[in-house]
Chains A and B, each alone.
Chain A
Amino acid sequence: MESKNQTNLLISLFILGSLLLNFPILSLFNLKGFLMGVPLLYFYIFTAWALLVVLIGLIMRKTTDREKS
């Protein structure tokens, strides 16, 4: 049951990531301008990317904990 839930989470995350990092959402951030010296588009991509990695990490940490216990 838990493993199924985790599968669902990872698939949802994949869909979320595919949406965030592709047209059309990506094009919304294809703007001129800078945030903290970083071009806006790069800032967005790296933020979304890091968010994905953190979420994968959180989902997998649960698994690892469960496997240990």
Chain B
Amino acid sequence: MLATKTILFFSFSYIALLFAIAYYGDKKADAGASIISNPYIYALSLAVYCTAWTFYGSVGRAVASGPNFLTIYLGPTLMIGLSWFVLRKIIRISKTYRITSIADFIASRYGKSTTLGGLVAIIAVVGIVPYISLQLKAISRGFLTLTNHSAVAEQATVFADTDFYVALLLAVFSIFFGTRHLDVTERHEGLVAAIAFESVVKLAAFLALGLFVTFGLYNGFGDLTRQAASLPNAQNLFNISMEPGTYANWVFQIFVSMMAILFLPRQFQVAVVENVNEKHLNKAMWLFPLYLIIINLFVLPVALSGLLHFPDGNVDPDTFVLALPMSQGQPVLTLLVFIGGMSAATGMVIVETIALSTMICNQLVMPVLLRFEPLKLPQRSDLSSLILTIRRISIILLLLLGYIYFRLTGEYHPLVSIGLQSFVAVTQFAPSVLGGIFWKDATRSGAFWGLTAGFGIWIYTLFLPSLVQGGLLPESFISQGPWGIEWLRPYQLFGLQSLSQKSHSVFWSMLLNIGLFVGISVFKQPTALEHTQAARFVDIFKRSEDKDPALMWRVQASLPALKSLLSRFLGERKTLMALKAYNRQKKIGWENDIIEDAGLIAHFESLLAGAIGSASARVMIATTVKEEPLGIDEVMDMLDETRHAIAYSHELEKATAELKRVNERLTELDRLKDDFIATVTHELKTPLTSVRSLTEILHANPELPLEQRNQFLSIIVKENERLSRLITQVLDFQKIESGVADWQLDHIDIHAIIEDALAASAQLIQEKQIQLDKDFTRPHHTIRGDRDRLIQVMMNLISNAIKFCDQEKGHIQIRTAQENDFIRIDITDNGAGIHKQDQEIIFEKFRQANAAKEGRPPGTGLGLTITKQIIEFHEGRIWVESEPGKGTAFSFILPISTEDK
């Protein structure tokens, strides 16, 4: 129907168009106007997930096992919903540390381990090669279907070369797209643009076919399903089979595809490495699953229609998408579908081989070459062309391997089956990566042994059996187990049955992988570098660059050496540009040839890591940088310093608290001083005012009656006395307070002092008709003290008692008693008493009980303060006991003179 020439013409035109788009994208990127920097292109590039497997294989899968094909797209939908904290974290980490592949990611996480990076690269290559061969198979099968419809089921020996040429063509294609130049970030804007375009083409082609089948050949879904209901195996298509293990397989496939969307090398490439802006994820999180829904809408109709049109089963369901439009005589649609299938396959192959070639080069070849002494590679002046060559050869090798695998395994496997095998392989990365970004204690040994064991199980349960069909291994390997050991049968390991081959492999490999990963990590201590990397990865969202733990390393390097190292891998121009960018950002001078800035060296290393992977970059940097983790002594020193600092800060805290207290005290004293001055002034002013006004009256009225005149004069005399008393008290107080008072110490009889004081107050007592009780305990004791001051104390207390005792039936009691080495004196009145809260303050200066209540207080407010000072000078103590309404008792004790004891 379609001439081979026509098909080839359109195929090459399409590829030329892709090149044009890629070229345009690269040019725009160089000019700084990215055409891929939007969430729509990003989501479309993620759709590189849909390969020839989706395009051709889903229909075949639907025919074989009904809705089962959908699991491959449900898993990614679930996973992309979690990408806010899984994929986004991986993107942030990879951007921060310039990680360029999944192997680099794992190697970098576990202490930049070359071994681990190499292992991951090997797993990825071996795991993905069957998947690449699937694409080759799909393209050549499509081509065969197109050129000779009836030859579909024939052996492909005649056309063997077709596959080979397809492989070579794709290799050239990938080389042109992916390895034109070396970039520090490994980003290929043009490639992404082309991939996004391919995603549109394959979707459009499949939709066109679906619409044609559903609404062209039939009258919509209803018509199609009604007719299909008559098919013998229709129920198998419409429902999940009731066989045991079906649902378990369903769950396993969803799990595996969830992991595949993150860990397939090409998904890592487009989702992480080629990501322009983290925020594009926000929209892609629903755009990408939407794409998956749409591309799956018409799978069932095409499958049903294929079964209806080719009932005798001589057309492979995997080719229904092409066979249907061909059988209906639709050349344009057929060609469109073929191009769509080619889009799906080429997109996958290009991105996958580029991603894998980066891994092979950075994780497998370069580490070996750099360590291989005779080559003297680290001394070579320009290595970027060498790197590109390695990558180009890797791409060719990968496609040849794909071709060989395809030839070896024969052409009997359905497409989906091959693809799932690769999914299970990349699922092995899940524990190391997911554990690595959320669990700090995950260690290199755990990851290494987990990966090794998981991969081993995969090889044994999936890869080796797939070679049986190519005749490389005997059939008995599957049916009877190696050497006839039945419990080692690869599809029923340890006798586990009823799971599908893939689920069976997933179960055992994950069991060992996760078990060893967790088990060894728990028991093994990580190295310093692993620790650093773990913290960097797990806390990526919390960490600012300044706090990077790498800066704990003590480094020293020569700037020219580092520069030349970098330019050997990146080229002179790019090195200078990168350094200038760093300089702009950090404002670091380059005047010194010796760098000791760990941050700058870390930056150099990350630049290099972009080109050759983190493990190799570490080796290279190590050749020029003297770097050592802080030794135990330095760490102890640092700890010591820290300890001192902490101790010092404690002292500081104490001193600060002290200062604060002193300051508060000073403020309080200052306030008291102000109060003191204000009160004294006030106290002085009141009598002065009255004296002055009375003298003025006397002066102005000389003819005032004598009686009144005498009254005025007596008031003036009294006020004057009060004034002088106050002044004496203030002076006294000041003297005692400042410690300059003159004390005349002598042996004194305390009773004599009481009698003296009473004698001085006798007149007042008589006037007020106060009853006085004296209860003196004999014999008299002497104390050592200042006689006049102690009389002052007694007088003060007695006059207080007189002042405050009951005005009608005044009663005062004075008691003395000996208490141990002290003499105790109580002066009790029967007055109004003092409130509890006032009892504590009456000894403070100018504080008087009930001052506010009774208006202007009697007295100066200094009497009790002075009394207290005097008693305390004599090493005694004064206190008050009182209850409102029941009188007041002032008591004090004074030590008995030592001679008297």
**Does A60 lie within 8 Å of B283, measured CB to CB?**
yes
A18-32: CB near B (< 8 Å → 1, else 0) gives: 100111101100111
In the complex the two chains form, what is the Cα distance from A18 to B77 in whole Å?
10
Q: Which residues of A contact B224 (CB under 8 A)?
A: 37
In the complex the two chains form, what is the Cα distance from A46 to B69 in whole Å?
13
**Does B238 lie within 8 Å of A41, measured CB to CB?**
yes
Most buried by B among A6, A40, A60: A60
A-B contact count, CB below 8 Å? 103
**Does B282 lie within 8 Å of A63, measured CB to CB?**
yes
Given contacts A6-B84, A17-B78, A42-B300, A30 and B240 within 8 Å (CB-CB):
yes
Q: Which residue of B lies closest to A56 (CB)?
A: B286
Q: How far is the CB of B24 from chain A (nearest CB, A)?
A: 29
B residues contacting the other copy or chain, number (CB 8 A) = 36
**Does A60 lie within 8 Å of B286, measured CB to CB?**
yes
A residues contacting the other copy or chain, number (CB 8 A) = 38
**Does B223 lie within 8 Å of A37, measured CB to CB?**
yes
Q: How far is the CB of B126 from chain A (nearest CB, A)?
A: 31
Given contacts A14-B78, A32-B238, A39-B238, A22 and B84 within 8 Å (CB-CB):
no
Q: How far is the CB of A22 from chain B (nearest CB, A)?
A: 6
In the complex the two chains form, what is the Cα distance from A53 to B235 in whole Å?
28
Interface residues of A in 33-53 (CB under 8 A from B): 34, 36-42, 45-46, 49-50, 52-53
**Does B240 lie within 8 Å of A17, measured CB to CB?**
no
Is residue B613 contacting chain A, with contact meaning CB distance below 8 A?
Answer: no
In the complex the two chains form, what is the Cα distance from A22 to B293 in whole Å?
17
Q: Which residues of A contact B239 (CB under 8 A)?
A: 30-32, 39, 41
Q: How far is the CB of B233 from chain A (nearest CB, A)?
A: 14
Q: Which residue of A lies closest to B286 (CB)?
A: A57
- Select which of A6, A53, A63 is within 8 A of B77 by beta carbon: A53
- By secondary structure, the A interface counts as helix
Question: Which of B246-254, B546-554, B633-641 participates in binding chain A?
Answer: B246-254
**Does B254 lie within 8 Å of A14, measured CB to CB?**
no
Interface residues of B in 286-312 (CB under 8 A from A): 286, 289-290, 293, 297, 300
**Does B84 lie within 8 Å of A7, measured CB to CB?**
yes
Q: Which residues of B contact A67 (CB under 8 A)?
A: 279, 282
In the complex the two chains form, what is the Cα distance from A64 to B250 in whole Å?
34
Q: How far is the CB of B871 from chain A (nearest CB, A)?
A: 64
**Does A39 lie within 8 Å of B283, measured CB to CB?**
no
Q: How far is the CB of B716 from chain A (nearest CB, A)?
A: 79
Q: Which residues of A contact B84 (CB under 8 A)?
A: 6-7, 10, 60
**Does A21 lie within 8 Å of B282, measured CB to CB?**
no
Q: Which residues of B contact A53 (CB under 8 A)?
A: 77, 286, 289-290, 293
Interface residues of B in 214-248 (CB under 8 A from A): 220-226, 235, 237-240, 247
Given contacts A23-B251, A27-B247, A32-B238, 4 further A-B contacts (CB under 8 A): A21-B78, A26-B250, A42-B238, A52-B78
**Interfacial residues, chain B to chain A (CB-CB below 8 A):** 67, 70, 74, 77-78, 80-82, 84-85, 220-226, 235, 237-240, 247, 250-251, 254, 279, 282-283, 285-286, 289-290, 293, 297, 300
